[in-house]
């Protein structure tokens, strides 16, 4: 009992009450200061609408964002040849009109914009067949020209791949749409022949047309032909070598064509 009485006497002593009061007051002051500081630092209670920037050009949004005390940052440029350079494709956060989300001042709006040029790695086509090489280039968005060079050991295979007059190596990055010159080996044995115009023909009609010309090889590519019926209806929209009136090609030349299915509703 004596111990409890001493503890109670100490708690109710002026010295303890004074110290305890100072401690509580200090706690209240610190907590109040922290709350006020955080409200100020985080702009508590602010609700700023995020404007819709999609479709606008990156060069025209500065004034719009300054009015709302917002900032922007371009995080990615995507290749899109159908849109003007710098068109905004995506934004984060999404516009308030779509998301009902508000932000505070100085918020950074992250943007993805369009660009008209892009780079792709050059594949290695050396010793590959002409048909394979053309399909690879087409898949990578590259154009091509073809020249033939007499070769008894690499008939129909790629001997050299060139870009702007120079040999281009595998892995070199070039712009999509660039023209690659393929030098293809050809074992010339026989009289040169006239390549016919195959544009608009079906695969079957083109094969029949070439069958009347001796020593011509034929190959077709139809990436969108998913069924046998697609292949039967496909029409040729590209051929190599191209038809040039009066220009003869070496005997044994491989005629490669690209075709697209011709649907009834087209």
Residues 250-259 have pLDDT tens digits of: 777 778 888 9
Return the sign of the alpha-carbon dihedral for residues 94, 95, 101, 106. positive
Given a contact cutoff of 8 angstroms between Cβ atoms, the answer to whether 168 and 120 are in contact is: no
Boundary of a domain, candidates 115, 141, 158: 115
Quote the CA–CA distance of 160 and 28 in Å, as a whole number: 81
- Here the tokens at position 196 are 């016919």
Q: Is residue 37 part of a domain?
A: no
Q: Are 54 and 103 in the same domain?
A: yes
pLDDT of 228: 83
Q: How far is CA 174 from CA 81, 122, 168, in A?
A: 16, 7, 10
Q: Are residues 172 and 143 in the same domain?
A: yes
Say if 39 falls within a structural domain: no
Nearest residue to 77 via CA among 40, 49, 109, 118: 118
Whether residue 143 lies inside any domain: the answer is yes
The whole-angstrom separation of Cα 141 and Cα 248 is 29
Looking at the structure, tell me whether residues 158 and 169 fall in a common domain. yes
Does position 146 have pLDDT exceeding 70, yes or no? yes
Classify residue 255: in a domain, yes or no: yes
In the numeric block, which tokens belong to residue 8?
Answer: 């109670």
Give the per-residue pLDDT at 35. Answer: 66
More confident residue, 97 or 16: 97
pLDDT at 190: 58
The number of residues in the chain equals 266
Domain with 164, as residue range(s), is 118-187
Token digits of residue 132: 């394979």
> Does 43 reside within a domain?
no
Burial class (CB in 10 A: 0-12, 13-18, 19+), 119: exposed
Q: Are 155 and 207 members of one domain?
A: no
Q: Say yes or no: 263 and 244 in one domain.
A: yes
Which DSSP state fits 157?
B
Average pLDDT for 109-124: 89
- Indicate whether 96 and 52 sit together in one domain: yes
Residue that wins the pLDDT comparison between 54 and 119: 54
Asked if the model's pLDDT at residue 266 lies above 50, the reply is no
Report pLDDT for 29. 81
What is the pLDDT at residue 116?
Answer: 80
Residue 151 counted as domain residue: yes
Residue 98 belongs to a domain: yes
Kindly report which listed range (2-11, 114-123, 144-153) carries the lowest average pLDDT score. 2-11
Residues 266, 213, single domain; the answer is yes
Residues 151 and 177 in one domain: yes
Question: Is 195 in the same domain as 180?
Answer: no
Nearest to 218 by CA among 253, 181, 245, 190: 253
| Global pTM value | 0.41
CA distance 211 to 25: 103
Instruction: Tell me the per-residue pLDDT of 186-235, one tens digit each, with 9 for 90 and over.
Output: 766 556 778 889 999 998 898 888 887 766 778 888 888 888 888 888 99
What was the pLDDT predicted at 264?
43
- Let me know: does 128 contact 157? Beta carbons within 8 Å: yes
Higher pLDDT, 57 or 129: 57
| pLDDT tens per residue across span 69-103 | 899 999 988 888 888 989 999 999 999 888 888 88
Domains: count for the chain: 3
Average pLDDT, the chain: 82
Place of tokens 């009902």: 100
- Among candidate residues 56, 80, 115, the one where a domain is terminated: 115
Mean pLDDT, range 97-114, rounded to an integer? 89
On whether residue 11 sits in a domain, the answer given is no
Where residue 80 sits, what CATH number does that domain have? 3.30.10.20
Highest mean pLDDT among 111-115, 218-222, 244-248: 111-115
94 shares its domain with 76: yes
Alpha carbon 151 to its chain centroid, in Å, reads 39
Asked if residue 261 and residue 200 are part of one domain, the reply reads yes
Q: Apex CA 235: angle with CA 233 and CA 239, to 5°?
A: 145
Same domain, 202 and 181: no
pLDDT of residue 83: 87
**Domain's final residue, options 86, 115, 144:** 115
């Amino acid at each position: 009992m004596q111990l409890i009485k001493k503890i109670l006497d100490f708690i109710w002593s002026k010295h303890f009450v004074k110290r305890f009061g100072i401690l509580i007051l200090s706690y209240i002051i610190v907590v109040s200061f922290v709350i006020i500081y955080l409200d100020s630092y985080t702009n508590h209670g602010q609700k700023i609408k995020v404007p819709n920037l999609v479709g606008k050009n990156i060069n025209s949004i500065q004034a719009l964002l300054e009015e709302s005390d917002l900032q922007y940052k371009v995080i990615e440029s995507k290749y899109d040849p159908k849109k003007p350079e710098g068109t905004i494709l995506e934004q984060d956060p999404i516009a308030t009109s779509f998301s009902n989300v508000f932000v505070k001042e100085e918020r950074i709006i992250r943007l993805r914009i369009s660009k008209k040029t892009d780079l792709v790695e050059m594949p290695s086509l050396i010793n590959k067949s002409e048909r394979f090489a053309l399909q690879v280039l087409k898949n990578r968005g590259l154009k091509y020209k073809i020249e033939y060079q007499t070769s008894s050991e690499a008939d129909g295979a790629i001997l050299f791949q060139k870009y702007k007059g120079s040999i281009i190596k595998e892995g070199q990055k070039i712009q999509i749409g660039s023209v690659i010159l393929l030098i293809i080996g050809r074992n010339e044995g026989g009289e040169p022949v006239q390549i016919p115009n195959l544009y608009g023909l079906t695969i079957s009609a083109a094969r029949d047309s070439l069958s009347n010309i001796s020593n011509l090889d034929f190959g077709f590519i139809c990436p969108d032909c998913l069924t046998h019926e697609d292949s039967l209806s496909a029409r040729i929209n590209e051929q190599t070598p191209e038809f040039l009136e009066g220009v003869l090609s070496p005997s044994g030349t491989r005629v490669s064509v690209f075709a697209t299915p011709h649907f009834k509703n087209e």
